[in-house]
Chain A
Amino acid sequence: DAGITQSPRHKVTETGTPVTLRCHQTENHRYMYWYRQDPGHGLRLIHYSYGVKDTDKGEVSDGYSVSRSKTEDFLLTLESATSSQTSVYFCAISERDTNNQPQHFGDGTRLSIL
């Protein structure tokens, strides 16, 4: 299995609080991605990174920010969590960002915003 660790695995917090999710990889892959998965929706890309300090928005980036200060770490921050951000969050990595380069996923973080 790809060396991807997400933390925390589960979190329950209140509306309005800041939340940071961490993705750590040991594969030295350049590309990292944050997704959310919700019932009735396929996986949706929140943000991605194509290198240290290089990030860009995905399909559902509103309310989220990211940072990548080291190749191995990609952080996702909810500055002021809302109930609509209750979801399962997956981090993914890929070696290249071209055709036929599959992504590999971490175990996920289950986040509940009350």
Chain B
Amino acid sequence: RKEVEQDPGPFNVPEGATVAFNCTYSNSASQSFFWYRQDCRKEPKLLMSVYSSGNEDGRFTAQLNRASQYISLLIRDSKLSDSATYLCVVNPAGNNRKLIWGLGTSLAVNP
């Protein structure tokens, strides 16, 4: 099993749709989690950290399920500008030298 796994997609959704991605991780001791977005040929940008209690930032909601070892990202009311690749990042060791990056899930929001 890969350390971090994501469905590569692509997810094609119409504007206004709700879409959800999951990311599974193998190390049950993992301590922190992030979602980044990466536009084509650009740098990864932090979207949100994922807290144990879950967290919400506008149209974006992140959840952590430790029992099943996955994190999720929910995007409501999708915009064209949400089209990007979403990278799941897991920190199994408590420091940034050991971050495990997923390969990303591609999202295309269509008019």
List CB contacts (< 8 Å) of A88-107 with chain B.
90, 94, 97-107
A31 proximal to B (CB < 8 A): yes
A residues within 8 A CB of B102? 42
B103 proximal to A (CB < 8 A): yes
Asked, given contacts A56-B97, A97-B95, whether A108 binds B43 with beta carbons under 8 Å apart, the answer is: yes
Assess whether B95 is in contact with A106, with CB atoms less than 8 Å apart. no
CB distance from A40 to the nearest CB of B (A): 7
Residue in contact with A99 in the complex, picked from B31, B45, B87, B101, CB distance below 8 Å:
B31
B residues within 8 A CB of A97? 95-97
Asked, given contacts A42-B4, A99-B91, A99-B94, whether A104 binds B46 with beta carbons under 8 Å apart, the answer is: yes
List CB contacts (< 8 Å) of B1-22 with chain A.
4
A74 proximal to B (CB < 8 A): no
A residues within 8 A CB of B104? 42
Asked, given contacts A90-B43, A102-B34, A107-B42, whether A42 binds B100 with beta carbons under 8 Å apart, the answer is: yes
* Chain B residues bordering chain A, tally (CB within 8 A): 22
B32 proximal to A (CB < 8 A): yes
A63 proximal to B (CB < 8 A): no
| Interface size bracket, A side | 20 to 34
A residues within 8 A CB of B43? 90, 105-108
Most buried by B among A31, A58, A100: A100
A60 to B4, CA, bound (A): 18
Assess whether B45 is in contact with A105, with CB atoms less than 8 Å apart. yes
B61 proximal to A (CB < 8 A): no
Residue ranges of B at the interface with A (Cβ–Cβ < 8 Å): 4, 31-32, 34, 42-46, 49, 87, 91, 94-97, 99-104
Residue ranges of A at the interface with B (Cβ–Cβ < 8 Å): 31, 33, 40-45, 48, 56, 58, 90, 94, 97-108
